[in-house]
Every structure is written in structure tokens, then in C-alpha cells.
């Protein structure tokens, strides 16, 4: 994965997409093969040092009861208000500050119930970005998002990709068709690698996924 690129990992359910991110984070070690991060084999690095490279946003990343500020400061307690506002802007969430006169101190409700599903996901991305990771890992699920929220998620991913290396598991191809490269997984192995246009002709599995999502 080239530094500064956006790489998408796609494939049917059970192909191994989330497992691949878990291996990168060393939730467990590979039984064969090697994972290198900036030239270092991952088992040679202390877990804390390795994970310092990554910002990881899970598919169901939680939003906790409390305020917008509380949720953003979980991993970066020293962040300033200007930094909080800037990171919300980076993931297209600046508008939630104007919905309540309390701004950053507005309540989000139990489990983030006062936010939409798309807003909760982008809040989790903002929380990860505050830690300034070199590599952002997104296990991104847009299956439950409506069209406008899915488009906002795509714009957020595009925006954060401009400053760092992003690896995103894509459940909806529409959010990643402009990725620098797309890796197609099938039953734990790589079926094909290429751009959206290249894969439409080189990978029958990818073309099938795209057809089912009405992208061709």
C-alpha cells in the first residue's frame, strides 16, 4: 500500500476483509506471510508502537452518552476547541455544532441516539483523526445509510484521504470507486487488484459486485 494512497478492500461476506485489518493491528499474528509497516515486520514492534501508526474505526464504532466534546476527547484529552472544530469540519460534521446552542457541549444521547447513523460513523472517524495517525483503517459499513448519508460518508473519506494513507473496507462500492487501488478478496485470498475501471474488465467477481450495486 503506497504511502499517501487510498486503498479499498472489497469482497463478499466472509472473504476475510475485517480479518485483514485485525492482522494489521496485531489483534492476532499471521500464521504465514509477513506484514510490514514502514519497513518493519509487525511482530518486531511493541504493540503500542505499532498501533501508534494506526487510527482504527470499527464497523460499529461506538458513540458514548455525553457531549460531542466528551466523545472526541476520549483518545486525545489535550485537544483544543479549535482542533475539535477542525476535525469535525474534516469529516463534514461541522453543521452539528450549529444545531444546538451548546455547540461542542451538546448532548448526543445514549449510544449517540441524537445523531444519525452516518453522523455516528463520521464522529468515530473524527475521534481517530485527532490522534493524527499515519494510517487510517476504516471498517466502513454504509449498508444501513440512506443516499444522502452515504454520499456524505464518501465525501468524508475522500477528504481525509488527502492527508494520509487510508485503507478502507468497503461494503458499498460507490464510496470507493475513485480509490487509487481496490483489492478484491475471495475466500481469504486476493482475487484481483486494480482501479474500478480496470477491475470491471479483469475481475468477474468485482464486476458481479458492481452489477448488483447498480454501478455498471
- pLDDT reading at 60 higher than 80: no
The pLDDT score that the predictor gives to residue 118 is 81
Please give, one letter per residue, the 3-state secondary structure of the chain.
Answer: CCCCCEEEEECCCCCCHHHHHHHHCCCCCCCCCCCEECCEEHHHCCHHHHHCCEEEECCCCCCCCCEHHHHHCCCCCCCCHHHHHHHHHHCCCHHHHHCCCCHHHCECCHHHCCCCHHHHHHHHHHHHHCCCCCEEEEEECCCCCCHHHHHHHHHHHHHHCCCCEEEEEECCHHHCCCCCEEEEEECCEEEEEECHHHHHHHCHHHHHHHHHCCCC
The pLDDT score that the predictor gives to residue 94 is 87
**What residues are annotated to the active site?**
140
pLDDT digits (tens, 9 = 90+) for 75-113: 899 999 999 999 998 888 888 998 999 999 999 999 889
pTM of the model: 0.86
Amino acid at each position: 500500500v503506497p504511502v499517501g494512497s487510498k486503498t479499498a478492500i472489497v469482497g463478499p461476506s466472509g472473504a476475510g476483509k475485517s480479518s485483514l485489518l485485525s492482522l494489521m493491528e496485531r489483534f492476532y499474528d499471521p500464521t504465514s506471510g509477513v506484514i510490514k509497516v514502514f519497513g518493519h515486520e509487525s511482530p518486531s514492534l511493541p504493540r503500542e508502537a505499532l498501533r501508534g501508526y494506526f487510527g482504527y474505526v470499527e464497523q460499529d464504532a461506538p458513540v458514548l452518552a455525553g457531549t460531542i466534546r466528551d466523545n472526541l476527547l476520549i483518545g486525545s484529552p489535550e485537544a483544543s476547541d479549535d482542533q475539535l472544530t477542525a476535525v469535525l469540519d474534516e469529516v463534514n460534521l461541522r453543521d452539528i455544532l450549529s444545531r444546538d446552542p451548546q455547540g461542542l457541549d451538546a448532548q448526543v444521547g445514549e449510544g449517540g441516539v441524537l445523531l444519525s447513523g452516518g453522523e455516528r460513523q463520521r464522529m468515530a472517524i473524527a475521534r481517530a483523526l485527532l490522534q493524527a495517525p499515519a494510517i487510517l483503517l476504516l471498517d466502513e459499513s454504509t449498508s444501513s445509510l440512506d443516499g444522502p448519508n452515504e454520499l456524505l460518508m464518501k465525501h468524508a473519506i475522500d477528504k481525509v484521504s488527502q492527508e494520509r494513507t487510508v485503507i478502507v473496507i468497503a461494503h458499498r462500492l460507490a464510496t470507493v470507486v475513485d480509490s487509487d487501488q481496490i483489492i478484491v478478496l475471495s475466500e481469504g485470498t486476493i482475487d484481483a487488484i486494480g482501479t474500478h475501471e480496470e477491475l470491471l474488465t479483469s475481475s468477474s467477481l468485482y464486476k458481479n459486485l458492481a452489477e448488483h450495486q447498480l454501478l455498471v
